[in-house]
Structure 1
Amino acid sequence: MPRIDIYTTPTCGYCTRAKKLLKAKRAAFTEIDVSVSPHLRRKMAGRAGGSNSVPQIFIGGTHVGGCSELMALDRSGVLDVMLASS
């Protein structure tokens, strides 16, 4: 399974939904809480092409986007393919 990074904040409902979907897929992920450090938020924005909202999700080094994009990938079946690749 590819490495998954998800940048979040504790009070973000979209973050919770995205993590719930990844857990349902049994996908291990690294959660990075950007609320604890401005440096982490800047790093997230740099990786995400300037996007400053959470969540920002990366699968295998590919920037997926946020919760809506993750859900769309799941509906189309592409998320399963991404998770199956190494």
Structure 2
Amino acid sequence: MSATESAAPEKIVIYTTAICPYCVAAKNFLKSRGETWAEVRIDLDPAEREKMVAMTRRTSVPQIFIRGTHVGGYDDMMALHRAGGLEPLLAGQP
């Protein structure tokens, strides 16, 4: 884990690899909004990759979770943002 480790669970968890431009774009977008996240590098931990695939049924990265809700990848997150759904999710609203 990186970016921001703390004792409390992160509200944002991003599954990434080292060579993923969409991972960088997602992190830059969240950083520009003042958000922090826990990063799980699936290229360094095959067990985490298996966990991600089991939870998402997807093999691509990034896979983004906000408050336990699977948002999807970068394009999915941006579509949610454009539709007005990202802010309420980040704020913990249903």
Mapped to 1, the partners of 2:89 and 2:43 lie a distance apart of 28
Mapped to 2, the partners of 1:14 and 1:25 lie a distance apart of 17
Q: How does 1:1-86 map to 2 (within 5 A)?
A: 3-48=11-56, 50-85=57-92
Q: State the Cα RMSD in Å.
A: 1.3
Q: TM-score, normalised by structure 2?
A: 0.83
By percentage of residues, which structure has more helix? 1
Q: Which runs of 5+ in 1 are unaligned?
A: none
Q: TM-score, normalised by structure 1?
A: 0.90
Mapped to 2, the partners of 1:21 and 1:81 lie a distance apart of 16
Q: Which runs of 5+ in 2 are unaligned?
A: 1-9
Mapped to 2, the partners of 1:62 and 1:83 lie a distance apart of 10
Mapped to 2, the partners of 1:57 and 1:34 lie a distance apart of 13
- SS of aligned partner of 2:58: coil
Identity of aligned pairs, percent? 45
Letter in 2 for 1:85: G
Letter in 1 for 2:71: V
Aligned residue pairs: how many?
84
- SS of aligned partner of 1:11: coil
Query: Relative contact order, CA 8 A, sep 6+: which one is greater?
Result: 1
